[in-house]
């Protein structure tokens, strides 16, 4: 048990946990990042509902959303950390884990602030269907991300997270990694999206994705319909090209957009304390 408020100690234990030789490509990092994103990506600015505060995914209403299939692996990985640092809220732990995972996999430092609570306000629970559907196109992507208050540039930057991890047929129905080295954060996703040829493929479960066979690896690399929609849209495409050329710009913009994502629905005072009155019950405050 660490001293309450010692987030460095929590981060150190998350780092240790990332190495998982028996799991996927040997790292828990990608699924931890996806947990952080899905915990926050339910936010709706107009109604001020959803978002990372409350860690609603612990409950069936949100955790059982088919869009969250597979994220129980991430939550189970983090149970060992929670057991050791029981003072941390799940909402802080899940978001911090995403930030630590990105950094440890070679990505940028993402500003992160604590103070989220595990108190669930039923009136703030997001309905299902708030997370993106990979079979759709640019209009759908905008509909989802504009709801949270993101711009076209931020949407493309955030999409660069698909440089990590893979699709699993038993989770989303999609299959395979986006890049040959899916546990190393980089801008390769943008580069190969532009440079390689992508062929549509229907998987045995009827799901359609785009693939490129990589001869050196003897492996098929994939893109979701929503990924390739980024290069067929005139406002998204220039950002894909910029990020493909300029890794530093991508890192800077990804860090800013991801930090914004994790703060959606959270108001803070000058000292960084969360002030939304209905969100502060039962939370831990640094």
The rounded distance, in Å, linking the Cα atoms of 152 and 148 is 12
246 near 212, Cβ under 8 Å? no
Alpha-helix residue ranges (DSSP H) falling in 64-151: 71-84, 90-104, 138-148
For the CA atoms of 277, 279, 281, 283, the dihedral, rounded to the nearest 10 degrees, stands at: -130
Minimum distance from residue 9 beta carbon to ligand DDH (Å): 25
Kindly give the interhelix angle for 247-262 and 29-40, rounded to the nearest 10 degrees: 50
24 near 128, Cβ under 8 Å? no
The rounded distance, in Å, linking the Cα atoms of 12 and 15 is 5
Report the residue from 120, 166, 185, 266 that binds ligand DDH according to the rule CB under 6 A.
166
In the set 37, 94, 112, 178, the catalytic residue is 178
Per CB under 6 A, contacts with ligand DDH among 99-158 are 132, 134, 141, 158
DSSP state of 221: E
The stretch among 5-13, 163-171, 184-192, 274-282 that binds ligand DDH (CB under 6 A) is: 163-171
Is residue 178 among the annotated active site residues? yes
Per CB under 6 A, contacts with ligand DDH among 242-261 are 258
Is residue 143 among the annotated active site residues? no
The stretch among 14-22, 110-118, 165-173, 205-213 that binds ligand DDH (CB under 6 A) is: 165-173
| Residue 33 in the binding site for ligand DDH (CB under 6 A) | yes
Binding marks (x or -) toward ligand DDH, 207..226, rule CB under 6 A? Answer: -----------------x-x
The alpha carbon dihedral of 189, 174, 183, 260 has a sign of positive
Report the residue from 161, 211, 221, 223 that binds ligand DDH according to the rule CB under 6 A.
161
Catalytic annotation, residues? 38, 178
Binding region for ligand DDH (CB under 6 A): 30-31, 33-34, 37, 70, 132, 134, 141, 158-159, 161-162, 164-168, 171-172, 174, 224, 226, 258
């Amino acid at each position: 048990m660490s001293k309450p408020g010692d987030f460095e100690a929590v981060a150190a234990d998350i780092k240790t946990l990332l190495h998982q030789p028996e799991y996927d490509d040997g790292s828990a990092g990608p699924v931890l990042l996806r947990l952080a994103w899905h915990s926050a990506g339910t936010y709706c600015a107009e109604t001020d509902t959803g978002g990372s505060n409350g860690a609603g995914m612990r409950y069936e209403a949100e955790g059982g959303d088919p869009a969250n299939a597979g994220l129980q692996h991430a939550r189970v990985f983090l149970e060992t950390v929670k057991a050791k640092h029981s003072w941390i809220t799940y909402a802080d732990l899940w978001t911090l884990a995403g930030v630590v995972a990105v950094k440890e996999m070679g990505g940028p430092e993402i500003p992160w602030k604590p103070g989220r609570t595990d108190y669930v306000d039923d009136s703030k629970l997001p309905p299902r269907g708030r997370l993106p559907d990979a079979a759709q196109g640019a209009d759908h992507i905008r509909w989802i991300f504009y709801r949270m208050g993101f711009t076209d540039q931020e949407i493309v930057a955030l999409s660069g997270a698909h440089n990590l991890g893979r699709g699993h047929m038993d989770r989303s129905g999609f299959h395979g990694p986006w890049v040959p080295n899916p546990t190393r954060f980089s801008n390769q996703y943008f580069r190969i999206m532009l440079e390689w040829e992508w062929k549509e493929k229907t998987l045995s479960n009827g799901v359609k994705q785009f693939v490129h066979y990589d001869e050196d690896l003897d492996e098929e690399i994939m893109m979701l319909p929503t990924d390739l929609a980024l290069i067929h849209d005139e406002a998204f495409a220039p950002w894909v090209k910029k990020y493909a050329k300029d890794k530093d710009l991508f890192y800077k913009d990804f860090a800013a957009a991801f930090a914004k994502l994790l703060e959606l629905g959270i108001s803070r005072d000058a000292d960084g304390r969360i002030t939304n009155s209905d969100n502060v019950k039962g939370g831990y405050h640094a």
